[in-house]
Each structure stands twice: as structure tokens, then as C-alpha cells.
Amino acid sequence: MNKETIGAFVFRNEGDGCLTSKYLEHTENTPYTESCKRTKGSNDVFEGVYTTSWLEIDKDITTELSIKKMGDVYHLYWSDKSPLYEGRAMLFEGKLVGSYWNI
């Protein structure tokens, strides 16, 4: 199965169960923001389940984001009753940096 990357992101842990992000989507000419609040977690500062919302042109989206650490790589899954996006990320200077694609 060919997975075409549609965007890139960087998440910053705000230290209180919240993540903030900037992301680029391949068809847009501007970065956007995403904000997440952890609902289930682990000892890792990024791993867990979050309620997340982000901006798109003319709409706001709220879904669930699941982040799982496997070795040195984080696997991200955005879903809203059905899978939306999947991504992979790594830690870089204390931030989670990666890319995502449609499922």
C-alpha cells in the first residue's frame, strides 16, 4: 500500500497534559495550529490519548489523537468514529516532529 505524505507537524508538550502544534498541509500555503488535551496517558510526556482540534480553511475539526511510542519512534493516529490520518514522529530538541498521511 502506497502512503503519500500529505503534511508535516511539530508538537510541543506544554507540561500540563496539553500539546500545541504547528502543521503544514501539502495543498496549503500557510501553517495551521492544533491543540490537544490528554485524556489517558503514560509516563512518557507525549504518549497517550488526546482530544484534539485543529484549524482548516473555513472549519474547525475536533477528533481523538492516539500517540504510541514504539522504540524511538512515535506512531500517531487521528480518528473520528473512523480512522482519518496516521503519522510517524521522532523527538528532536524536546519536540515531536513528524509527517502524516491519509489512512
What are the φ and ψ backbone dihedral angles of 93, each rounded to 5 degrees?
Answer: 50, 45
Give the angle 15-7-26 at the CA atoms, nearest 5°: 140
Alpha-carbon distance of 2 to 22, in angstroms, equals 25
Average predicted confidence (pLDDT) for the chain: 94
Residue-level pLDDT at 3: 82
Alpha-carbon distance of 44 to 52, in angstroms, equals 18
> Are the beta carbons of 10 and 22 closer than 8 angstroms?
yes
- Is the pLDDT at 1 greater than 60? The verdict is no
- Is the pLDDT at 2 greater than 70? The verdict is no
Cα dihedral 6, 28, 45, 91 sign? positive
DSSP 49: E
What are the φ and ψ backbone dihedral angles of 65, each rounded to 5 degrees?
Answer: -120, 125
